[in-house]
């Protein structure tokens, strides 16, 4: 088996801002596995918030190349690679390769339900209240909007967005930007405009206030949630968990995490880092298990790779086999 590693940059349509900062492009790492007759592909986004960088992930893959090329199973990956983003790219490439070798889709090989078209959230980048209100008006035909919040003025942002997108369902991502002091006020402001779910309102590791605060809005773990080992500490604080393959280390552990979360009564959100359709494709297989889907990464780029997942507005189609899976 031959391993190929590549770094790619994909410009964002404009800029993308969350409470931690802004960016104008995404930097991804791709993995290709070839056995001489079939090729499998995977993509990951190393995320500095989790102390992972593109050079680090590339170096880890290169250092493990001989072991990978000698033959690696899904169960071996965690012992071969430390960065979770690197594990993700390799795990997804291996699934893609196995599917092509078997002539069967990944969802069948993984024992998952057949994926159907699904509505994804569409993200409004953090900006001034006025600018986010204008963005909401432009996106008001979309059924589900995700609002990046986490700075002063969030209550005003919520009011303007709701006014300009009266028919859209709303979810919020505070990206650890609120505090225990303003949490009750912000959750109440969300409830007032009909927000259905709030992601990671408090910093990971400083979210104990969630155990005792009453709320009318579902609170979802994101930065606090990684793999199975993080699940126990979420119980009693969060109502749902955002599963991202770059955090879990691939589709294989993401499936295990989704099933374990469901068994413990947690809702499931399937999310993504900002990336191309190649990164969305394996995550899309989790959508039959999910209550909320947030896989709009390609919609926020200037252009996607070819072939790509088709989006009919916010209705996301299953990935084409010539892309992945």
As a whole number of angstroms, the distance between CA 38 and CA 17 comes to: 39
116 is catalytic: no
Q: Which of 104, 148, 159, 247 is catalytic?
A: 148
100 tagged catalytic: no
Angle at 271 between CA 270 and CA 272, to 5 degrees: 140
Residue with tokens 């996106």: 139
User: 306 in the Ramachandran plot: left (φ > 0), alpha (ψ -120 to 50) or beta?
Assistant: beta
Tokens standing for 277? 């359709």
Whole-angstrom Cα distance, residue 143 to residue 168? 5
Residue pair 298/319 in contact by the 8 Å Cβ criterion: no
Backbone φ and ψ for 255, nearest 5 degrees, come out as: -65, -45
C-alpha to C-alpha distances, 51 to 56, 86, 123, 203, nearest whole angstrom: 9, 13, 24, 16
Q: Is 103 left (phi over 0), alpha (psi -120 to 50) or beta?
A: left
> Do residues 169 and 145 make contact, with C-beta atoms less than 8 angstroms apart?
yes
Give residues with Cβ within 8 angstroms of 126, minimum separation 6. 17, 18, 19, 132, 148, 149, 150, 151
H or E segment and range at residue 219: strand 218-221
Strands 118-119 and 39-44: unpaired
**Identified catalytic residue from 116, 146, 159, 244:** 244
- How distant, in Å, are the alpha carbons of 91, 251, 288 from that of 223? 21, 18, 23
User: Residues with catalytic annotation?
Assistant: 148, 244
């Amino acid at each position: 088996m031959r391993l190929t590693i590549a770094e790619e940059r994909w410009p964002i349509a404009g800029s993308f801002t969350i409470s931690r900062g802004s960016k104008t492009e995404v930097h991804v790492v791709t993995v290709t596995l070839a056995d001489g007759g079939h090729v499998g592909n995977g993509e990951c986004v190393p995320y500095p918030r989790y102390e992972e960088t593109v050079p680090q992930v590339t170096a880890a893959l290169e250092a493990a190349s001989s072991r990978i090329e000698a033959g690696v199973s899904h169960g071996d990956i965690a012992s071969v690679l430390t960065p979770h983003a690197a594990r993700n790219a390799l795990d997804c490439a291996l699934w893609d390769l196995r599917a092509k070798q078997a002539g069967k889709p990944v969802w069948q090989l993984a024992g998952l339900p057949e994926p159907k078209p699904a509505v994804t959230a569409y993200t409004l980048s953090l900006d001034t209240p006025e600018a986010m209100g204008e963005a909401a008006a432009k996106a008001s035909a979309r059924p589900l909007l995700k609002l990046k919040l986490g700075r002063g003025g969030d209550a005003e942002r919520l009011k303007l967005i709701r006014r300009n997108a009266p028919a859209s369902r709303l979810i919020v991502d505070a990206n650890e930007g609120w505090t225990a002091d303003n949490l009750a006020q912000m959750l109440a402001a969300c409830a007032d405009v009909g927000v259905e779910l709030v992601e990671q309102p408090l910093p990971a590791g400083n979210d104990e206030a969630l155990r005792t605060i009453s709320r009318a809005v579902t609170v979802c773990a994101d930065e606090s949630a990684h793999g199975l080992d993080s699940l126990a500490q979420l119980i009693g604080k969060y109502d749902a968990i955002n599963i991202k393959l770059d955090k879990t280390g691939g589709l294989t552990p993401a499936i295990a995490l989704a099933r374990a979360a469901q068994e413990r009564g947690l809702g499931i959100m399937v999310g993504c880092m900002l990336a191309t359709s190649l990164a969305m494709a394996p995550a899309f297989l989790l959508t039959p298990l999910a209550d909320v889907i947030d896989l709009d990464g390609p919609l926020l780029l200037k252009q996607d790779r070819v072939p790509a997942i088709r989006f009919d507005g916010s209705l996301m189609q299953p990935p084409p086999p010539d892309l992945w899976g």
